[in-house]
Amino acid sequence: MSQLEQTAREKNQLQGTVVAVQANFYQVLLEPSSQQQINAVNFDSNYLLCTRRTRLKKIGQKVLVGDRVIIEEPDWQDGRGAIAKVQPRNTELQRPPIANADIILLVFALEEPSLDPWQLSRFLVKAESTKLQLCLCLNKCDLISQQQQQQWQQRLEAWGYSPVFVSAINNQGIEPLKSRLRGKIAVVAGPSGVGKSSLINNLIPSAQLRVGEVSGKLQRGRHTTRHVELFNIPDGGLLADSPGFNQPDLDCDPSDLALYFPEARTRLSQGSCQFNNCSHRDEPNCVVRGDWERYEYYRVFLDKAIANQKAQQNTPDQESSLKLKVKRSGKSQYEPRLASKKYRRLSRREKHQNLQELYCAGNINEIYEEAEDI
């Protein structure tokens, strides 16, 4: 294809970002240049409802929320489109399934429910393991005193974080938070009941997300978010509200766990341990072990990460329960491997041999039973 033809083809392309996925349909937010292009054909909208081309399905190309996609003409006529290509991803998260995220907005409440340092640390470790930027947002600051807020500020700075204190109800601290999110794709995470939906409604009034109440007995919120969707922040940027979960799994490699604690990273940058495979527990001349608040958290999380790794190693590999079968056409596929021979289905030849033996023995009733299975 010549450069002239390539340029002509690009002029008939629309580019955008997938902001919602439901069944086999994709809501695409068009880029400003593409919006002008589609408005020229008397379709006044910033969004396009799309499917994906069969070719993408055949090659196993999934389309995730956050994907940057291309829609070619004539696939975008009459207000509908078909995704023709998915641009390479910068990042990809499995939970929630979202592509090209830049920053994780970790939301916790200072009260109702009370802020638990252990739970917060577990979420922080999970967020650090994604290697995305991290913004810690502490909601409901109106429920504590200024002195308590200052204490939390100093404590978290010792952990290596600069939190943003906000109140979604009273509109406090929203502007500094918007400046951190401007121009980025942010993923909201945190336990239920901390005010994530209320905060998003404050940042994006058009979102109108359902808000749940905190249980009085458990001091835990009800899950109100059911799917992943990107919302357009008026000041710039996109925000993904992900389904809440109470406790993230510590599924990281135990040898990498220390890197997910800023306090440990600082110590490692200033020196090195005596052993390359130091677990930072009881080894001599360890630079990480010491008097820092979350060192106890690290040891507990390390034991859980090791236990989780052992459990995964003891889980049988999926391929060990499958067998490769090659068909006459030359195509190959995996089929379930039966655990024992006694459960194997008899071949037709073997059944005929059994019938012959029964016939010679004169067992007519058994002959009818065997014949019904052929």
* 348-352 CB contacts, 8 Å cutoff, 24+ apart: 348/374
Phi, psi of 327 (to 5 degrees): -85, 170
Q: Which stretches within the chain are classed as H helix?
A: 3-11, 32-39, 54-58, 117-129, 146-159, 174-181, 196-203, 262-270, 295-314, 348-361, 364-372
**pLDDT at site 344:** 60
Least confident of 158-172, 225-239, 248-262, 311-325: 311-325
Average pLDDT, the chain: 80
* Sign of the CA dihedral running 157, 162, 168, 170: positive
pLDDT given for residue 38 in this prediction: 65
List, as one string, the DSSP characters of 321-370.
GEEEEE-TTS-EEEEEPPS-GGGSPPPHHHHHHHHHHHHHHT-HHHHHHH
* Of the ranges 20-24, 40-44, 69-73, 89-93, the best mean pLDDT one: 89-93
Q: Which pLDDT score, from 0 to 100, does residue 201 have?
A: 87
- Determine the pLDDT at residue 268: 94
Measured in degrees and rounded to the nearest 5, phi and psi for residue 254 equal -55, -30
Distance CA 200, CA 234 (A): 12
Q: pLDDT at residue 206 above 50?
A: yes
Tell me the per-residue pLDDT of 334-368, one tens digit each, with 9 for 90 and over: 666 665 555 566 677 776 776 666 666 655 555 45
What confidence score (pLDDT) does residue 149 get? 95
**Which of 190-194, 294-298, 326-330, 348-352 has maximum average pLDDT?**
294-298
Q: Of residues 1 and 66, which shows the higher confidence score? A: 66
pLDDT surpassing 90 at residue 115: yes
Better-predicted residue by pLDDT, 283 or 328 = 283
Domains within the chain, CATH numbers bracketed: 3-88 (2.40.50.140), 98-241 (3.40.50.300), 254-313 (1.10.40), 343-374 (no CATH)
**Residue 33 in this model has a pLDDT that exceeds 50:** yes
Residue whose C-alpha is closest to residue 107's, from 144, 149, 141, 135: 135
Quick one: tokens of 374? 């052929």
Is the confidence at residue 105, as pLDDT, over 90? yes
**Across residues 309-317, what is the average pLDDT?**
77
pLDDT average, residue stretch 20-24: 86
Can you name the residues that pair with 81 across neighbouring β-strands? Answer: 50
Place of tokens 């294809």: 1
- pLDDT at residue 216, rounded to an integer: 43
pLDDT, position 327 = 62
- Which of these ranges, 7-16, 231-240, 270-279, 321-330, has the smallest mean pLDDT? 321-330
Q: How confident is the model at residue 212 (pLDDT cuts 50, 70, 90)?
A: very low
**Mean pLDDT, rounded, for 104-133:** 93
Q: Quick one: tokens of 105?
A: 């907005």
Give pLDDT, residue 220: 43
| Least confident residue range of 52-56, 81-85, 328-332, 365-369 | 365-369
pLDDT beyond 70 at 243: no
pLDDT-based confidence at residue 81 (cuts at 50, 70, 90): confident
Instruction: State the pLDDT at residue 303.
Output: 94
